[in-house]
Amino acid sequence: MDKEQAAIRIQALRKELDRHNYQYYVLDSPVISDAEYDRLLRELEGLEAAYPEFITSDSPTRRIGAKPLDAFSTVSHTMPMLSLANAMSAEEVIDFDKRVKKLLNVSAVEYVMEVKIDGLAVELVYEKGLFILGSTRGDGYSGEDITQNLRTIRSIPMKLMDNQGIPIPERLEVRGEVYIGKREFEELNRKRGEAGEPLFANPRNAGSGTVRQLDSRITAGRKLNIFCYAPGQIIGAAIETHLQFLDYLKKWGFRVNEYAHPCKDVGEVIDYYHHIEALREQILYEIDGTVIKVNRFDYQAHLGAVSRSPRWAIAYKFEAQEETTVIEDIIVGVGRTGALTPVAVLKPVAVGGVEVSRATLHNEDEIRRKGIMIGDTVIVRRAGDVIPEVVKAIEEKRTGSEIPFVMPIACPVCGEKAVRPSGEAITRCVNINCPAQIKGSIEHFASKRAMDIDGLGVKLIEQMVDKNIIKDVSDLYFLTKEVLMGLERMADKSAQNIVDAITASAKRPFNRFIYGLGIRNVGEHISGLLAERYRDMDHLSSATEEELVAIPEIGPEVAGSITAFFKDEKNTETIRRILQKVEIEHTKRDKKELEGLTFVFTGTLSALAREEARKRVEELGAKTAPSVSKKVDYVVAGAEAGSKLDKARGLGLKILTEEEFMALLQKPLSSHNPG
């Protein structure tokens, strides 16, 4: 066979194998035997080995895995991968429906119901029909690049099908859930047991762990699957509804869940939920509820999102699974903020396919309210990924040997006084030098979502704190290899690896640095908002509560936590020492049309809701403030404007009518000057 003939045969084999992959893994309707498929694949492998110049990334032979990676790189999502709010009852679903209709100002809304797969959320990116990138959800804004592993999942098309005249977009981002089926999970655990390897706790852990293997050949050897169900960015295809999008996905060659179902109103939604609930045990993969989505995309856009969840979708979860067991002890843990948290040590019990040996008791008041004692027989509940909790004690099974729990008056770690502030439910250790708090803050600072110091695990941190080598996170950046080599199981190479990892962490984005500081009430999302709003640590640390509250999604409690953190001299000294060694990376972005301007809204707007108006100017780079001051550039006055308008006039601020405001949104940057 000459080169030209080989090229023709390679193309024919790829086309045929792609068709058989689609028939088998997407349609579940194979038309040839496994042996015949393997023969075709081996023929293609042989031709590509003989003519490597014809190998392409979308070839079926690329699904067998590649050489192991050293680590996953991070990729940003074009559009955030938001998490869903949960509804646990029909009443909460009805409330969701009422909110949707009120915000849309309509009397009826069509929904689409889907099953909620218990797997790992991923994003697939296609350019000109070819699969180029795959990533985990991560924090919703960025995730890990797992392209190599996702290529091994045969139900993921490497190339979009040109089907029935449906246009292939210039760019297509598709979200889906990678999972392992119940039977495949049992088979995987059987083989691991025979090999003497530890068993996976449940299908979710097995699927998530498999898709995040650095060696994609391991991923290829396990039978992962995927359902695709949501869009990210789409360029080059006009789609109006979620149902239409699911139909397009099928025609492009994606695997779409068979249980997706339209519902004309909330009554049908609740009926369909109960239908799926009745089928739960028969379904061949784990589900933990259903998902309700507004069908029309224009309605979704109008509804928008709140914090990290869309307003147009909600998860309607199945009732929590419960089992009975015994509380063998109640221990008290100390977190990085000094919070003392009682935890029930349980006689191990399987709840929803997961072995549970500990459950949260939340706080002292909760224990009193539920009347829980050490030695009690109790009901333990686990709902989805929620940490197991003790629901109640079964008093009828008491023997008289049960012991009441008493919250310690001293920290169980450092022995210093524990205090429960007036009006709070949490008892706290007030010793800022408590080893538990120091260990927790260092562990958080070094975590993957923060400064990502590879190899700095819990046991090593405990050693360093216990031996007084480090007293706070800033000491990490002054460690030497020689000091580390004095610790247990720390030889020359491993010590050097830790030093190198700490050095590598010295360049991290500002949002991850903020998150790593462990400010109370400040998670990843709020850290991102702060990094966007403030240029550097000096500006952030000097921000007032009033300025912080003016940032959308930051309330008084969060603002108070931030300002209190920076008023603490120990915290500011720690940051000063860190910044001697750490170079914060600030995200470079194009200047937006209204950047640098501050708006205040007063009165009622007719063209759009005030919240929507705020969102519009913030998307264009402006800030919004809750009150009028000399720092405000524009005051937008709607109908029945009140005292804010009078104060704005007194200060001589620029006042806009609603018509002027709408016109301003259309003007180019050069004309946005309140003068």
Overall average pLDDT of the 648-671 stretch: 77
Rg for the chain (alpha carbons), in Å? 28
Residue 230's pLDDT is 94
Average pLDDT, the chain: 86
| Cβ–Cβ < 8 Å for 380, 325 | yes
Q: What residues are labeled active site?
A: 116
- Per DSSP, the residues of 552-610 read TT--HHHHHHHHHHHH-HHHHHHHHHHTTT-EEEPPP-PPPTTTT-EEEEESB-SSS-H
Inter-axis angle of helices 610-619 and 658-666, to 10 degrees?
30
The tens digit of pLDDT for each residue in 277-286 reads 889 888 989 8
Q: Which residue has the higher pLDDT, 186 or 202?
A: 186
Instruction: State the pLDDT confidence band at 627, using cuts at 50, 70 and 90.
Output: confident
Q: Kindly state the percentage of the chain with pLDDT values over 90.
A: 40
- pLDDT of 233 > 80? The answer is yes
pLDDT at site 675: 46
- At 389, give phi and psi (nearest 5°): -135, 155
Residue 505 DSSP SS3: coil
Contact 50, 31 (CB under 8 A): no
Q: pLDDT by residue (tens digit) across 399-428?
A: 999 999 999 999 999 998 899 887 788 899
pLDDT at 63 over 70: no
Q: In this structure, are residues 184 and 140 in contact, taking their beta carbons and an 8 Å threshold?
A: no
pLDDT at 672 over 50: no
Other beta carbons within 10 angstroms of residue 25's beta carbon come to 17
The length of the chain in residues reads 675
Task: Please calculate the CA angle 621-623-629 and round it to the nearest 5 degrees.
Answer: 150
- Return the closest-CA partner of residue 461 out of 475, 451, 480, 482: 475
Residue range 581-604: mean pLDDT, rounded: 76
Name the helix (H) or strand (E) containing 145: none
DSSP state of 82: P
pLDDT classification of 70: cutoffs 50, 70, 90: low
Please give the Cα distance from 516 to 526 (Å, whole number): 12
Distances (CA, A) of 413 to 293, 339, 446, 456: 47, 12, 22, 22
Give which of 541, 537, 549 is closest to 629, Cα–Cα.
Answer: 549
pLDDT of residue 345 exceeding 60, the answer is: yes
pLDDT in tens, 207-217: 888 887 877 78
Mean pLDDT of 575-588: 83
pLDDT-based confidence at residue 671 (cuts at 50, 70, 90): very low
Confidence band, pLDDT 50/70/90 cuts, at residue 375: very high
pLDDT at 265: 94
Q: Is pLDDT of 667 > 70?
A: no
Tokens of 295: 């069908």
Give residue-wise pLDDT tens across range 561-575.
999 899 988 889 999
pLDDT at 270: 94
Phi and psi at residue 145, to the nearest 5°: -75, 105
What predicted TM-score, i.e. pTM, was given to this entire model?
0.55
Q: Is residue 200's pLDDT more than 50? A: yes
Whole-number pLDDT of residue 670: 39
Question: Per-residue pLDDT for 590 more than 60?
Answer: no
Tell me how far apart the alpha carbons of residues 630 and 618 are, in angstroms, rounded to a whole number. Answer: 20
d(C-alpha 81, C-alpha 74), whole Å: 15
More confident residue, 671 or 99: 99
Please check whether residue 162 is in contact with residue 168, taking contact to mean a CB–CB distance below 8 angstroms.
Answer: yes
The reported pLDDT for the residue numbered 353 is: 65
Domains and CATH numbers, the chain: 3-64 (1.10.287.610), 86-317 (3.30.470.30), 321-399+407-419 (2.40.50.140), 435-505 (1.10.150.20), 510-585 (1.10.150.20), 598-671 (3.40.50.10190)
The C-alpha atoms of residue 594 and residue 105 are separated, in whole angstroms, by: 29
Determine if residue 104 is left, alpha or beta; phi over 0 gives left, psi from -120 to 50 gives alpha, anything else beta: alpha
Ranked by mean pLDDT, the top range of 262-266, 363-367, 386-390 is 262-266
Residue 209: in which H helix or E strand, if any? helix 203-211
Question: How far, in Å, CA of 445 to CA of 465, rounded?
Answer: 14
Q: Are 192 and 59 in contact (CB under 8 A)?
A: no
User: For the residues 540-563, what does the mean pLDDT come to?
Assistant: 88
Angle between helices 458-466 and 435-446 (to 10 degrees): 140
- Cβ atoms within 10 A of the Cβ of 459, count? 10
Range list of H helices, 508-568: 510-516, 524-533, 537-541, 545-549, 556-567
For residue 589, pLDDT over 60 is answered with no
Q: Is 484 in contact with 498 (CB distance < 8 Å)?
A: yes
Residue 26: the pLDDT is 62
Mean pLDDT over residues 288-302, rounded?
93
3-state secondary structure 243-263: HHHHHHHHHHCCCCCCCCEEE
Please compute the mean of the pLDDT values over residues 640-662 and round it to a whole number.
86
The pLDDT of residue 295: 96
pLDDT band at residue 57 using 50, 70 and 90 as cut-offs: confident
For 250, phi then psi, to 5°, come to -60, -45
Number of H-type helices and E-type strands within the chain:
24, 28
